[in-house]
Amino acid sequence: MAVRRHRPGDQETELDLTPMLDVVFIMLIFFIVTTSFVKESGIAVNTPEAETAQRQESANILIAIHESGDIWIDGRPIDVRALKAQVARMHAENPQGTVVVQSDEKADTGVLVKVMDQIRLAGIQQIAVAARRAGS
């Protein structure tokens, strides 16, 4: 077994990992800040087709109406009577965003009208109804 002796002229080198860790943390922060978060209503909805459907970029409140008439917002079912307060709270958090209602094409129109009425009672007049572009 060879024994290595420390000689006076030998220098021990150490690798300093601090700069590398700094770069990794800066990259992590960059990716977290630049990530776009996709908002979803919580259920899959088969929206009707429309020739004039347009993409809505700044939707911050998504409300889904299932074909059974259930209303979903932020991944949770909600009663139509509680919708006004929930929408008002969410709109206060982000006043620039819009409300998009995703109604299933087999859902009752009466439920859609009730949902839109509660949204307007919450003080929001700009409401978009989701549709997919015909042929897509």
16, 32, 38, 98 from 128: Cα distances, Å: 56, 29, 18, 8
Q: What is the mean pLDDT of residues 98-110?
A: 87
Q: Is the pLDDT assigned to residue 85 strictly greater than 90? A: yes
Number of domains in the chain: 1
Write the pLDDT tens digit of every residue in 2-47. Answer: 666 666 666 777 788 888 899 999 999 988 887 765 566 667 776 7
Q: What integer best gives the mean pLDDT of the chain?
A: 81
Strands (E), the chain: 49-50, 59-65, 71-73, 76-78, 98-103, 127-129, 132-133
- In the prediction, which pLDDT does 117 show? 93
- Ramachandran class of 82: left when φ > 0, alpha when ψ lies in -120 to 50, beta otherwise: alpha
Report if residue 39 sits inside a domain: no
Query: Which of the four pLDDT bands, split at 50, 70 and 90, describes residue 50?
Result: confident
Q: What is the domain range of residue 70?
A: 49-133
The phi, psi pair for 99, rounded to 5°, reads -105, 130
CATH code of the domain in which 90 resides: 3.30.420.270
